[in-house]
């Protein structure tokens, strides 16, 4: 089958568990390192799906690749090629599909929970998580609106739109792709950002994020496997 294109926008925000999951399913993937100057493909042709990872930038920044990415996402949606986005990736999807990206009321940093919606679309994506809480990892200060025609899948008190689905496409504000190595790197790289907003109840300090890996990461893996398992069903084999 054709590979899934995985777009990396920052050196430390790679594909993480998403790539591991694809490999476990025998699905090929190709890394497109935007952070190293890789060109955005003009068309989705040649790929079975598109995946967009996170990044510290805003989709509202005047970066030369953002409009090209949005054009590619629209091409994939028009051709029914599945798209999945993690954090910045979810924001890129929302922007490409007519949504808005704005400052969130608060920053969310560290481990948290989001509540699954209970509707037909949510049940098809979330399975047992429909109407239930799921463990997620967060590191964001902006948020997306649910684009026209999409359905919200997860929400919490700090960020109303945690996840949306539109046909075979999945946009996420949260990070379900985390590995222990990624969490350790982020905690070392961006500790000052967390410390600056430590008073917020939706912010954890690096030492707490690291201490919670053993208990929370296996729980989140169950959610990520549920979501990824549904998403790959849309791939052309």
Give the angle subtended at the CA of 193 by the CAs of 136 and 87, to the nearest 5°: 35
In terms of Cα–Cα distance, which of 86, 99, 26, 78 is closest to 55? 86
Q: What's the pLDDT score for residue 237?
A: 78
What would the pLDDT profile of 75-94 be if each residue is shown by its tens digit? 999 999 999 999 999 999 99
Q: What is the DSSP letter of 14?
A: -
CA distance 228 to 84: 9
DSSP percent split of the chain into helix, strand, coil, nearest 5? 35, 25, 40
Q: Walk across the sheet containing 83-86 and list its strands.
A: 29-33, 4-8, 49-52, 83-86, 169-172, 163-166, 151-155, 101-116, 133-144
Share of the chain above pLDDT 90, in %: 99
Q: What's the pLDDT score for residue 177?
A: 98
CA distance 202 to 173: 14
Q: What is the rounded average pLDDT of the residues 48-54? A: 98
Largest Cα separation within the chain, whole Å, is: 49
Buried b vs exposed e over 202-225: b needs ≥16 C-beta within 10 Å?
bbbebeebbebbeebbeebbebbe
Domains identified in the chain and CATH numbers: 4-232 (3.40.50.880)
In terms of Cα–Cα distance, which of 140, 215, 222 is closest to 173? 140
- Determine how β-strand 101-116 pairs with β-strand 151-155: antiparallel
- Say if residues 52 and 69 touch (Cβ distance below 8 Å): yes
CA distance 197 to 199: 6
Q: How far is CA 81 from CA 43, 45, 64, 66, 237, in A?
A: 11, 9, 24, 19, 12
Tokens for 92, please give them: 């890129």
- Checking if the pLDDT of 47 tops 90, the result is yes
- Checking if the pLDDT of 165 tops 90, the result is yes
Tokens for 72, please give them: 């590619």
- Checking if the pLDDT of 156 tops 90, the result is yes
Q: What is the rounded average pLDDT of the residues 176-204? A: 96
CA dihedral sign of residues 51, 107, 62, 154 = positive
Compute, in degrees rounded to 10, the torsion defined by CA atoms 128, 130, 133, 136.
Answer: 90
Q: What's the pLDDT score for residue 236?
A: 83
- Say if residues 33 and 9 touch (Cβ distance below 8 Å): no
What would the pLDDT profile of 15-39 be if each residue is shown by its tens digit? 999 999 999 999 999 999 999 999 9
């Amino acid at each position: 089958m054709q590979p899934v294109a995985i777009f990396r926008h920052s050196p430390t925000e790679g594909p993480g568990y998403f790539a591991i999951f694809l490999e476990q399913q025998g699905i090929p993937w190709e890394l497109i390192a935007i952070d190293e100057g890789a060109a955005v493909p003009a068309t989705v042709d040649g790929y079975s799906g598109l995946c967009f990872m996170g990044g510290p930038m805003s989709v509202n920044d005047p970066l030369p690749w953002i409009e090209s990415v949005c054009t590619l996402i629209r091409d994939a949606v028009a051709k029914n090629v599945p798209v999945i986005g993690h954090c910045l990736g979810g924001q890129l999807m929302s922007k490409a599909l007519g949504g808005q990206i704005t400052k969130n009321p608060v920053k969310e940093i560290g481990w948290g929970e989001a509540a699954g919606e209970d509707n037909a679309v949510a049940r098809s994506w979330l399975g047992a998580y429909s109407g239930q809480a799921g463990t997620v990892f967060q590191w964001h200060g902006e948020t997306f609106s649910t684009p026209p025609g999409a359905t919200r899948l997860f929400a919490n008190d700090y960020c109303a739109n945690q996840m949306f689905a539109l046909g075979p496409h999945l946009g996420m504000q949260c990070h379900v792709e985390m590995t222990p190595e990624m969490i350790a790197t982020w905690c070392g790289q961006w500790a000052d950002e967390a410390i600056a907003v430590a008073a917020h109840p939706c912010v954890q300090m690096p030492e707490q994020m690291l201490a919670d890996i053993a208990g929370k990461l296996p729980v989140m893996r169950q959610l990520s496997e549920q979501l990824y398992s549904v998403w790959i069903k849309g791939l052309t084999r």
